[in-house]
Homo-oligomer: A and B are copies of this chain.
Amino acid sequence: MKIVFGASGTLGQKISVALSAAGHEIVKIGRKSGDVQADFAGPDGLAEIYKALKPFDAVAIAAGAVAFGAFPEITREQWQFSFNNKLLAQITAVQQALPYINDGGSFTLVGGLMSEEPIPMGAAASTVNRALEGFVVAAAIELPRGIRINLISPSLIEESVPQFGDLAPGVIPVSAARVAQA
């Protein structure tokens, strides 16, 4: 069984479709929809959910938001929101799953383009996305029982061009279905 966070989102939907098409049983988790409702970034954590769902062999995350704004004006609260919502929430989702995930299981986290390609208004995204890369390479060497961890860094997603396209001029978008294959 595979667990997908953010399954109702642009990317999460395609991940769910791709996993189902490959014959996997999936459990979709979303804030307001899916098979199980949970606040991904909330302080209560996900331990009870993992305990109820075990055994499972993969956790894929397509959830987490960051603040956008001109760098000098990003507030302390916006920085902390970004750290908690996209960075600490994904770290917590990994840590709390560890007691329950099968030997040889896998975690797939989501970063983003701005890790490598900074844009105006995107300082928090660049900071958080690159932090996730640092986390994944460090966590990888400490995971027990053959458990793996990877980070997907999608480019601009075609389905998101109406919302975010103006922020990333010149970037060739990819389909969410293509990202989900990764």
A contact set with B: CB distance below 8 Å: 43, 70-72, 74, 76, 79-80, 83, 87-88, 91-92, 95, 98, 114-115, 118-120, 122-123, 125-135, 137-144
Contacts of A141 in B (CB 8 A): 118-120
Bound CA span A34–B120, Å: 36
Instruction: Give the nearest-CB partner of A91 in chain B.
Output: B79
A131 touches which of B95, B98, B130, B139 (Cβ 8 Å): B130
- Point out which of A43, A79, A123 has the most chain B C-beta atoms below 10 A from its C-beta: A123
From B83, B119, B128, B142, A71 is in contact (CB under 8 Å) with: B142
Closest to A118 in B: B138
- In the bound complex, residues from chain B placing their C-beta under 8 Å from that of A137 are 118, 126
Complex Cα–Cα for A131 and B127 (A) = 5
